[in-house]
Amino acid sequence: MNWRERLRPYRAAFAARFLQMLQYRSAALAGFATQCWWGGIKVMVLAAFYAGAQASAPMPLHQAITYTWLAQGLLALLPWTADPEVAQAVRTGAVAYDRLRPVDAYALWYARTTGWIAARVLPRLALMALFAAVLLPLAGWTDWAWRASAGAAAGLFALLSMGLALLVSASMVMLLNIATAAALNERGINALAVPVVIVLSGNLLPLALLPDAWQTLLLLQPLAALVDIPMRLYFGQLAGGQAWRGLGLQCFWLALFVGAGHAALGRTMRRLEIQGG
C-alpha cells in the first residue's frame, strides 16, 4: 500500500472534523469579539507599562503589541481542554470499538483532534488579522496595529512553526483526553491546565518580558512551542541556525507527546481488550 492510501483514513478523519467544526460560525464570531476586547485591554496595559518603564525592555512596544494580537488570534490553538468527544470515547470504552477499524486508533483520534483545533483557530486568526493588521492601520492607528514579520524568511519560519504548534497542541490535547478518561472527570484537569497554559505559552505576556533568569527554562518548556517560539521566529529573534533549533525543539516536543499519548492509549486499549468494553 502506498503512503497516500496509508494516510487516507487519517486525512479523512481530519477533514470530516474540520469541516464539521467550521460550521459553528457564531462561536467563531463570539470568540473573536472576546479576543479583540481582551487584546485591546492587554495592548493598553502594555503601553502603560512601557511608558512608565525605567530600564529598556527586551522587546520594543510595537513587537509586544503585534505579539499580543497574534497570541489573541491563536487563543484557540492552546490546549485548553480535552476534546469532549474523544475523552468520552476513551472513558466509555468506545475506543475499544476502534479495534474494528483497519487503522491506528491513536492516529485516527489525533487527526480528528487536529481538525477540531484547526477549525477553531483558522477563522479566528483570519478575523484577527483582518482587524489588527488591516483595519487598524486603515483607521490610522498604525502604532497599535499588528505589524509585518521581520522579512520574508522570518514570516515563512513563523508560518511553519505555527503549523508545528498546531500539531504539538493536538498531541497535548490527546494527553488531556486520555488523562481525563483516567480521572473520570475533566474539570479537575482543566482547572489545573488553564492557568499554566496561559502563562507558560506566552499568551498572557510575551515570555521575553518575564524575568531574565527564567528565560532559558521558559524557552525550553513545552508550552513555549505553542505561541512563543512562532512569535520569536516572526520577529526574527530566532534567526538562521537558531530558527532551525526553534523548529527542532517543537519537533522534539511533538515526538515526545505523540509517543507518550500513543503508549497511554495503547495501554487503555489493551486493558479494555482484556477486561471488556
Identified binder of other proteins from the candidate list 3, 5, 52, 241, rule CB under 8 A: 5
> Three cell numbers at 68?
499580543
Least gap, CB of 244 to other proteins (angstroms): 35
The verdict on 185 binding other proteins (CB under 8 A) reads no
Strand spans (E) along the chain: none
The verdict on 103 binding other proteins (CB under 8 A) reads yes
Identified binder of other proteins from the candidate list 97, 141, 214, 244, rule CB under 8 A: 97
For 140, phi and psi rounded to 5 degrees? Answer: 95, 5
Query: Cβ contacts of residue 272 below 8 Å, gap of 6+?
Result: 93, 95, 96
Q: How far apart are CA 122 and CA 170, in angstroms?
A: 14
Residue with cell 515526538: 255
The verdict on 54 binding other proteins (CB under 8 A) reads no
Piece in contact with other proteins (CB under 8 A), picked from 90-98, 116-124, 179-187, 243-251: 90-98
Identified binder of other proteins from the candidate list 13, 121, 170, 223, rule CB under 8 A: 13
**CB-count exposure of residue 199 (10 Å: 0-12, 13-18, 19+):** middle
> Three cell numbers at 222?
513545552
The CB-side HSE value for 44 (13 A sphere, CA atoms) comes to: 5
Asked whether the beta carbons of 277 and 93 are under 8 A apart, the reply is: yes
The verdict on 277 binding other proteins (CB under 8 A) reads yes
Piece in contact with other proteins (CB under 8 A), picked from 37-45, 120-128, 199-207, 268-276: 268-276
Q: How far apart are CA 18 and CA 46, in angstroms?
A: 35
Return the number of the residue (101 or 187) whose C-beta is nearest other proteins: 101
Return the number of the residue (89 or 179) whose C-beta is nearest other proteins: 89
Per-residue binding string, other proteins, 14-33, x by CB under 8 A, is: --x---x-------------
> Three cell numbers at 26?
457564531
Residue numbers 108-127 binding other proteins by CB under 8 A: 108
Asked whether the beta carbons of 50 and 64 are under 8 A apart, the reply is: yes
Residue with cell 474494528: 100
Identified binder of other proteins from the candidate list 26, 54, 216, 275, rule CB under 8 A: 275
The verdict on 184 binding other proteins (CB under 8 A) reads no
Piece in contact with other proteins (CB under 8 A), picked from 3-11, 55-63, 204-212, 228-236: 3-11
Q: Binding residues for other proteins, per CB under 8 A?
A: 1, 5, 8-9, 11-13, 16, 20, 85, 94, 96-97, 99-103, 108, 272-277
